[in-house]
Structure 1
């Protein structure tokens, strides 16, 4: 099962023929822009749109998803320092984790580390493991796009000055301990919360 987030509303993709309470549409028949507009309209009215896209073959399910919207591939990091604090950025008024689009012919791990460095000023990054792949829809130049972000856990011994990349709309960069991280996640995005354990979200 996959979740594609439109703002904080998940659209479910699976190989199940139906999910109780959800409107199921074969993914080949999905008009993504129409669905996205409906999700956004319902969200603005305080309602939850519940859509489920179906295909019996998982590989084809993902292939059809990628064919529905232009795809932007990105890499990002959940970064820990020596105090086990986590690196957060504030962008568009929300707490987020550093991430960004890969460049042509760039390896995804290289891109993830580069984006963390550029957005926060943090260096000496070491990837410790792959965490998760998230999907969310965004709008650029009047068209909807699908961002697929590969997230990596990283560690660093860096203890220098944090520098927000202001030309990317980042206003703050902060190390946050568990208590502050839990508070930040109450003002974050659903796909970012997926990178944290239940203990952080309760």
Structure 2
């Protein structure tokens, strides 16, 4: 049986909008940098919270809770341009992962889905295009991340990215896709990838999750 999702953590630069199931509220620890509010049911009120996170540094995160989390998420989604995307953590034979340096940040290969494209297909395509590596092998799904940002026309977009582990068994050097703003690629042990600065918070947490899962597999728990 699929576990019921209890939260959506959505990045806005280095701040977070968190949508949560009401049932988790008693478990939360007080945090002066987090604003916690019930959802009124008026979806246009969500713009106010987005503006606060975008324009003020008073709070690092805003958590909105509801008894109907799927409904809250759909209300937010309906207000924004919807961008489905996919990406990957590419692992080589030495258990290193491939980091890319894009537009001033250390990152992982990812990109938007083409029309009618599946997430898995897009993950393979984007990873091959952005790194120049061929014959990548798709592995397990790792996680989903959410990101709100401004498009070139200033409209807000909500990007959902599905992340997969991809395996590379070759020996060719990676070739950064300069047309996508990628200046550099580097094979790193996962722990060393966490030391790269600057790095977006959601990418840092994604690599942390990858490390945790690899440790469990090593212990034979998965």
1:27, 1:61 within 8 Å by CA — same for their partners in 2? no
Q: Is 1:106 matched with 2:130?
A: no
Distance 2:194 2:11 in 1: 21
- Other structure's SS at 1:195 match: helix
Determine the structure 2 residue equivalent to 1:35: 49
1:134, 1:191 within 8 Å by CA — same for their partners in 2? yes
Aligned length: 197
Determine the structure 2 residue equivalent to 1:23: 36
Determine the structure 2 residue equivalent to 1:126: 137
Determine the structure 2 residue equivalent to 1:176: 188
1:125-164 map, 5 Å:
125-140=136-151, 141-164=153-176
Unaligned stretches of 5+ in structure 2? 1-6, 213-222
Determine the structure 1 residue equivalent to 2:79: 68
2:89, 2:98 within 8 Å by CA — same for their partners in 1? yes
Determine the structure 2 residue equivalent to 1:97: 108
Range with bigger deviation, 74-83 or 157-166 = 157-166
TM-score by length of 1: 0.87
Distance 1:130 1:38 in 2: 33
2:83, 2:160 within 8 Å by CA — same for their partners in 1? yes
TM-score by length of 2: 0.80
Residues 47-101 of structure 1 show CA distances to partners (whole Å, capped at 9, x for unaligned) of: 4343122221232232222112111000000110001110111111100000000
Unaligned stretches of 5+ in structure 1? none
Distance 1:98 1:42 in 2: 30
Residues 126-145 of structure 1 show CA distances to partners (whole Å, capped at 9, x for unaligned) of: 12101111001111121110
Q: How far is the alpha carbon of 1:198 from its aligned partner?
A: 6.9
